[in-house]
Structure 1
Amino acid sequence: MGTKAQNQVKKQADKKSIADKIIFVLLSILIIGAPLFQGLFFQKEIMISNIFAFAIFVVFLLNKKRNKEKLIIFNSPYDCIGLLFIIAYLLPIVFFQWADLRDAIDILIRYTTYYAIYLMIKDMAQFERYKEYFTKVLILGSLVVAFIGIFGATGYIKLEDVIMGNRISSTFQYPNTLAALMMAMFFLVNGSIHKAEKYIEKLIYGAAGFVMLFTFIFTYSRAAWLLFPIFALLYLIFLSGKDRIASILYFVATLLPNILVLQPFTSQLAIDADTKPKALIVFFIGIGIFKVLYSIVLFVQSKLADKHYKLIYGFLGAVTIGVAILGYMALNTTVPLVFDNMAATENKTNQIQRTVKEIEGNKDYILKLNVEAIAGEVEAQWPWRVRINSVNEAGEQELLIETLGDKDVNGEIEIPFTTLETTQNISIYFTNIYPKTKVVFNEVKVIDGEENVVENIKLKYKYIPESLIARFNSIDLSEDSSATRLTYYKDSFSIFKSKPIFGGGGGTWKALYPKYQSLPYNSTEAHNYFLQALVETGITGIAVLALLIFIFVVHLLKAWKRKDTLTISILFSILALLGHSGLDFNFSFHSIPIILWALIALLETKTFEDIKPRINKIDLSGKSVGTVVPIIFAVPLLLFSISLYSAYAISVDNGKSINEIPIEESISKMEKAVLLDPFHSNMRIDLAKMQRTYGFETDNFSLVEKAENHLKKAVKHSPYMPVALQETASHYISLGRFEDAFKYLDKSTETTPLKPNSYETKSEAYAAVANYYLGKGEVEKAIDIYTNNMIGIIDEMRVANEKTEKPVQLTQNTLQNIFRAKYFVDNYNNPEKLEQLNDIVYMSYLDLEGATAVGMPWRVSDSSSGDIKYEIKKEGLKISNTGEDNEFIYSQFFSLNPDTMYEVEVVFSQESTQKNLRSHIISMVGRRTQVSEDINLEEIEDGVYYYNFNTTEDLEPGRQYIRFDHPGNSEDYFVIRQVIIKKIE
């Protein structure tokens, strides 16, 4: 080749090298930056990252086109899998199966982004140096996140929710996802150590792993704590002999310093100060200890020949035994529990909880305490409190007894208690709150009726932080968070059954869970990536996901045979992310799947070359596609992503300035936003509301018609969105098209049967329509609305509650709307009664047909010597109390005005057997008891009792309630049918 030709080739190679470096830098910024912006959980950051990724991809494709290179695909099974995921999320849109079109498009764009990132990194990682570079970038990005979390916990970085309670959450603002990332990257670090040749590199990688493990521990993520040892054990099994020993030594060298600094670091974090320099010093001391220890490990490894590795196994065995002994000692070395608030100037809660499991139901026990206490300056401020709760099989707790400390009582104290029939174990809470108080619990034990010691309770561990003990104690499938997750999983299958083939597209869980939920809860996340994929893509998508996992397993087996430690490490990083995501919503953080697909792109496909994707027996392995086709898709995706973000920016800007600019300008801005993002239902709803308002103000009914069209499209794009349905109903009410409005209101409660606010919106709409008819003098139509629609909400709620184990309550406003309707229907022929309707401040029809549907809007007192019971029946609210003490039942809050006369009307059922009771009006502000009234049911006719009272001048409106006392010690009961409180002249 001539000199001229050689120079030309060199110039092209130099240009390619420069372009590759630029693309590498841009991809590195994306990977490192992704977790830093709240993990890319929110729409703004997600859209910006999509634009950035597509822009890099276009540059990447143009660079390949300029160099006349093909975009190689189908030389790895992962190429096909990435495309299949995109198709799986496209199908619900193509076949009009979406639950929310905008969310479906959003998730489709995300998966396209992951694939683009995968293709770029995979293409560059064919060169060993770039594979190494990207590995370092992934580790560096995770290390930055870890340091931000640690510096945030010690007060040196001020970011919102960088620490939640005592849990490090860093930039994710969610500790569990941070834990998943740290766990995954720890395996990548270990693989990189094996790959590294230089001592300094091994030490740097090792220190990075120490920081990640340290951060992982202080996320207090229980699921991750359980999973990490399992993945670590499997990881070691798959490594070859020499690498396995090196990894075990590294694990030990990393774990021991972490254990050593746990207690001092936790103690320093507990200090009440803005910054905690000593905690940070402890952390760096831990790094120093690790470096010394690991340097010794590396030195020993370098001096031992392969035949001497048996010595290391012996050493590791000794270390294991030593750690076991130390662990046993740590778990059994306790000291007295001290809560010291002597230096405090305000309330500060100190509390620990201990569980005793060897407990029988319906049996007498004694809690024996040895206590030393110093009381506070205020007599009512006790130095300690002990609560003993019964815990049933479902993990639900019920108070058995509460004991408050006394300054004059020290030494041996006995607290007798009796368990319930449903008691499986007991939970004991030791608490100190008030300033200038101190308590020392020297010894606590539970004994049974025969004075046998059931358990000596370990109060304070000398070497283990209480925060760790508390988190370990709460690892229980019966705990609320675990039980709630199981409910999510159950409901996911209900959603899947409604759209089994293609699913409902991205965002299906968020859109459909309110319709299918079996218990009342609020969660826009399924807390399980696999189930979320199931409801979003149906059988089609879950088959792709299953295929991906199968390929991972096969790839792992082949890497194991080849003793390819780095590939095994990358695969375990991937499997750790996926494994933890089966228990949480990590993949809702856009940064996590970006990292996942970057890891997939680094996999060594040479270990996998005999598995070739085939379609209809056509071998696609090694087939190539030119850059033109990807560019045809990439450029529109980039422009579309820019369009979506522009719409978002306009919408946000309009929301900030809506009260400062003319409405015509706001409408114009929102019209532009809708044009740029035509699938965003909330934008259409906002625009429709402005158009309707302005249209009515200016008699421009073409604007009102446009508003209707936008609302129809919003409902079409988001058919299960309550806001879209309710706003459309409101629109039709404003036009007087009530039947159309009622259809949308019915749809809104059908899609959210366990959401009380939906019924409140519905009741307010019915009230508005009824008032419209009353204003026109059409009383019969108003009565029809009240009878068939408003009061019918009770039946709707009852039907909804029949499908759930935990009935939900209608809101107080909904109940008042229903009760006012009931009052009107009962008294519409009585003008005097109707005139009093606007003076009523509170009413409750407890005898309303189907009243069980509203749940229990009343509450009861709770004392250890009383035994009040209640039951809502067709006849009303039945109250009994066989206990020794007076107890009471009380209403929700209502509002009274100061220095005002009111009348209370109470209707009792004739079946009441308890004849003597007392009623009180209580205020939380001002004089507490506004009035007390003794009631003798034998002295009243027809069960109706009236009494008047005048409120005090110091009363503040808004926190008043009525209560009814049952004196107790009796089998008799009384039944309240109705309560009405109204203002009188």
Structure 2
Amino acid sequence: MLNKVVKKNINSINLTILFFSVIVFFFPFFRGLYFEREFYVASMIMSVMAAIVFFRNIKNKEKIKFYSPIEYFATAFVLIYLFTFPFSVNEHLASFEIIKNLTYFIFFIVIVYNLKTDKDISLINWSLILIGTIASIIGLGSALGTFSYKGAFVDGMINSTFQYHNTFGAYMLAVLFLAMGEIAEEDNLKKYLLSGFGYIVFLGFILSYSRGAWILLPVVGIIAFILLNTDGLKRVLISFIAVIFSFSMTISHIYQGIKEQNSFIGWLSIVIGIAITAMVIFLLDKLLNKLPKINIRKRTIIIVLLISLVIILILFVNGVLIEYLPHSIAERIKGINLKTFTVVERGVFYKDALKIIKDYPIIGVGGGGWQTLYSMYKTYDYTTTQAHNYIIQTWIEIGTLGLIILIGLYLSTLWSSYRIIKSINNDKLFNKMLGVICATLVLILHSTIDFDMALGAYAFFVWAMLGTIVAVEKRYVNKYSETAKRLTISFIVPMLLSIVLLFTSGMFHLGYVNAMKAVESVKNKDYVKAQKYFERAARQNPFRANYKFDLGTIQYNIGIKLKSKELIEKSKQNIENAIRLNERDFKILANSIAIYLRRGDIDKGEELLQKLQKYHPLNDHTYISSIEIYYNIGHHYLKKGNIDKAKDYFKKVISINEEVIQKNQELEKIQKELLKDINDIPSSYVEERFKINLDQKSIQLVNSAKDILNKLK
């Protein structure tokens, strides 16, 4: 009898959704899948699993049938990245973006065509709730000094496995809304477990110090409370009150534990907080059950909630409630305004991004375009590989056409969500989907003010939610099935895509592995072995410029030592190929200039130096290198007796110095206008970012060039 029950329970589990939920479960624990090394592995795993599922779909003679606008826009979004690849300014980063988006897309297709029941939705939700809980525990443990997890707690803010506090904060908030959807339908012991998880996740959310995520809590929360059905709203309110009450009772002790690095106080407070959460839920349930049945209308509850929210906001603004919060949290709340350095800096990023878009308006510059080009366009010398706004970054990468598709994807998500909310009569399913929709809204909205989508774990969360919305729309909102024209595609197409993706990700991963082996060989001074590994890496990832450049550098050094013309010629070809692949890379340009000048090819060296000046006009080392190179070339011609040539280059040294003075005047003006009335500027930031700083050697060379020119008059 027991065996039959167990077998029945196992058969009721959707194994496809279970396996993919388990896969996604582990993604945040690999640095949020921000870096290529981890993402290639994730892509390979996803590709293998997806190919198996698609093969089964083919065997069952199933077809892909597009019903939802989301499917059309999602497909178009991936295709335009493929279409713009030949026009990309950085083929390596563009190919990486294609791999990322193809991986998300096949995951999306798996979810859409395999999610069958509301239990499948819960399977995904619970997986993500567990991820959020464990990620929060890792962050709290790092903050309390219980264990060391690199990058999980930095500058007093919890980053957890994401290694970035804002993305972690937004992820935690989205998890809270998924938990809300599950709590709204649970009236048993599960609600205690979910509420306990909710308390832990809420701690991580607050201690992320992500102001953007904090703002989204009341915004999206109000929408959720308005839309929840009456019974679900009551359950969620009880849980919410319990979590907030336990948080208020324990946060000062947890903060003390973090400040003093006292794990015992911290974890004891957290355990007490979980107990308080359960106790409050139990007492409120008992109280409501003993009270006479009063039919309180949902409208009344919403009005009371809105009034309470307004009162709380007034108390916060007047500083009444802030006094009871830990100092760092209170200061962070006070800093929520448009006159903070973070807001001003984001505005500069967006303004500079629009300069790039103006030059490449239609099809953009390909994946990684911002990272490749921003040095040429930036207002002052900040450093960021991301535009901190997914919409703007997409606009840069795939142009106005891509922007239209992305906006279409977002609008169709809103439309499909609206249709689900209007059409579903099953209260339990409605509550689950409201949690999914609110989580999606949080993830998308926060990505418009930060670079969350650059982290693969975050993006997988988004695409899991989109897939869930489409799957539910197909199965429960049936108007499309009879009336709309459908695009039908064989599962052979995504299966082939999965195989190609597996091969490409595998090759690029091997390229990375061999490059790391080459670096290790260089450290051990085994240059022959390093050459062999770099040759493999350059073949396995032909788009990565630094592999070819490093190979060329190794070949040049070995060629010089062995006096091998063949190796020196190969070196020249590889370095030229590296420059062709990415002539905007600072390190490649700077090192190539040094190699060409060492070879005596002054014209080529000077040509590359001009590119360095063009592409990196605010980098200190651009001007330090230019002064030294022009001075050395001038000295070279002076020794040869070519006075006119020498004078030309010494004049260039002085010209570079004058250019630095002029740029510094412009930067000083920008700094005064930009940072007016901004009080939270990081120390030394102005000196480092709003000024080109020449080192002492460069200043001496400028003075020497002036003296030489005076003598040569």
From the superposition, tell whether residues 825 and 135 of structure 1 become closer, same or farther in structure 2 (CA, over 3 Å): same
Secondary structure at the aligned position of 1:308 is classed as: coil
From the superposition, tell whether residues 671 and 775 of structure 1 become closer, same or farther in structure 2 (CA, over 3 Å): farther
The one of 679, 698, 705 equivalent to 1:814 is 698
1:801–1:808 Cα contact (<8 Å) kept: yes
| Distance in structure 2 (CA, Å) of the matches to 1:257 and 1:490 | 43
1:654 matched residue in structure 2:
518
Q: Does 1:577 align with 2:569?
A: no
Secondary structure at the aligned position of 2:146 is classed as: coil
2:507 matched residue in structure 1:
643
The one of 116, 135, 152 equivalent to 2:125 is 135
The one of 641, 646, 663 equivalent to 1:782 is 646
The answer for unaligned runs of 5 or more in structure 2 is: 1-6, 425-429, 672-689
1:99–1:719 Cα contact (<8 Å) kept: no
Amino acid at match of 2:692: Q
Equivalent residues in 2 for 1:222-621, closer than 5 Å = 222-271=211-260, 273=261, 275-299=262-286, 308-310=295-297, 313=300, 317=304, 324=311, 328=315, 461=323, 463-562=324-423, 564-603=430-469, 604-606=472-474, 608-610=477-479, 620-621=485-486
Q: Does 1:199 align with 2:199?
A: no
CA shift at 1:222, angstroms? Answer: 1.5
1:559–1:565 Cα contact (<8 Å) kept: no
CA shift at 1:38, angstroms? Answer: 1.3
Q: Does 1:625 align with 2:503?
A: no
The one of 585, 591, 594 equivalent to 1:721 is 585
Secondary structure at the aligned position of 2:366 is classed as: coil
| Distance in structure 2 (CA, Å) of the matches to 1:781 and 1:476 | 57
Secondary structure at the aligned position of 1:309 is classed as: coil
Amino acid at match of 2:211: R
Amino acid at match of 2:522: I
1:40–1:591 Cα contact (<8 Å) kept: yes
| Distance in structure 2 (CA, Å) of the matches to 1:150 and 1:785 | 59
CA shift at 1:652, angstroms? Answer: 0.8
1:528–1:584 Cα contact (<8 Å) kept: yes
Amino acid at match of 2:460: I
The one of 759, 766, 773 equivalent to 2:623 is 759
| Distance in structure 2 (CA, Å) of the matches to 1:322 and 1:122 | 38
From the superposition, tell whether residues 311 and 543 of structure 1 become closer, same or farther in structure 2 (CA, over 3 Å): closer
2:106 matched residue in structure 1:
116
Secondary structure at the aligned position of 1:602 is classed as: helix
2:656 matched residue in structure 1:
793
Between Structure 1 and Structure 2, the one with more helix by share is: 2
Please give the TM-score of this superposition, normalised by the length of structure 2. Answer: 0.88
| Distance in structure 1 (CA, Å) of the matches to 2:36 and 2:102 | 16
| Deviates most, 753-762 or 67-76 | 67-76
1:90 matched residue in structure 2:
82
1:845 matched residue in structure 2:
none
The one of 56, 63, 66 equivalent to 1:74 is 66
Secondary structure at the aligned position of 1:658 is classed as: helix
| Distance in structure 2 (CA, Å) of the matches to 1:326 and 1:773 | 72
1:415 matched residue in structure 2:
none
1:502–1:537 Cα contact (<8 Å) kept: yes
1:352 matched residue in structure 2:
none
Amino acid at match of 2:501: L
| Deviates most, 308-317 or 789-798 | 308-317
Amino acid at match of 2:170: A
Q: Does 1:770 align with 2:634?
A: yes
Between Structure 1 and Structure 2, the one with more strand by share is: 1
Secondary structure at the aligned position of 1:719 is classed as: coil
| Distance in structure 2 (CA, Å) of the matches to 1:727 and 1:37 | 32
2:687 matched residue in structure 1:
none
From the superposition, tell whether residues 253 and 662 of structure 1 become closer, same or farther in structure 2 (CA, over 3 Å): closer
CA shift at 1:516, angstroms? Answer: 0.7
Secondary structure at the aligned position of 2:361 is classed as: coil
2:598 matched residue in structure 1:
734
CA shift at 1:310, angstroms? Answer: 4.6
1:748–1:758 Cα contact (<8 Å) kept: yes
1:32 matched residue in structure 2:
25
| Distance in structure 2 (CA, Å) of the matches to 1:314 and 1:102 | 54
| Deviates most, 540-549 or 715-724 | 715-724
**% identity of equivalent residues:** 23
Larger Rg: 1
The answer for unaligned runs of 5 or more in structure 1 is: 1-12, 335-459, 830-985
Amino acid at match of 2:55: L
Secondary structure at the aligned position of 2:184 is classed as: helix
The one of 43, 53, 56 equivalent to 2:46 is 53
Amino acid at match of 1:90: L
CA shift at 1:777, angstroms? Answer: 4.1
CA shift at 1:193, angstroms? Answer: 1.6
CA shift at 1:264, angstroms? Answer: 2.3
1:100–1:719 Cα contact (<8 Å) kept: no
Tell me the alpha carbon deviations over residues 24-80 of structure 1, each in whole angstroms, 9 at most, x when there is no partner.
454233211111111111221112111111121222223333x33324241333322
Q: Does 1:145 align with 2:138?
A: no
Tell me the alpha carbon deviations over residues 712-745 of structure 1, each in whole angstroms, 9 at most, x when there is no partner.
2222222322223333333332332212221211
CA shift at 1:695, angstroms? Answer: 2.0
From the superposition, tell whether residues 541 and 690 of structure 1 become closer, same or farther in structure 2 (CA, over 3 Å): same
Equivalent residues in 2 for 1:147-226, closer than 5 Å = 147-196=137-186, 198-226=187-215
From the superposition, tell whether residues 750 and 633 of structure 1 become closer, same or farther in structure 2 (CA, over 3 Å): same
1:509–1:535 Cα contact (<8 Å) kept: yes
Secondary structure at the aligned position of 1:72 is classed as: strand
Secondary structure at the aligned position of 2:379 is classed as: coil
2:184–2:233 Cα contact (<8 Å) kept: no
Tell me the alpha carbon deviations over residues 829-851 of structure 1, each in whole angstroms, 9 at most, x when there is no partner.
8xxxxxxxxxxxxxxxxxxxxxx
- What is the alpha-carbon root mean square deviation over aligned residues? 3.1
CA shift at 1:581, angstroms? Answer: 1.3
2:94 matched residue in structure 1:
104
The one of 706, 710, 714 equivalent to 2:570 is 706
Amino acid at match of 1:762: S
Amino acid at match of 2:413: F
CA shift at 1:329, angstroms? Answer: 11
Equivalent residues in 2 for 1:957-976, closer than 5 Å = none
Please give the TM-score of this superposition, normalised by the length of structure 1. Answer: 0.65
Amino acid at match of 1:296: L
CA shift at 1:130, angstroms? Answer: 2.6
1:253–1:294 Cα contact (<8 Å) kept: yes
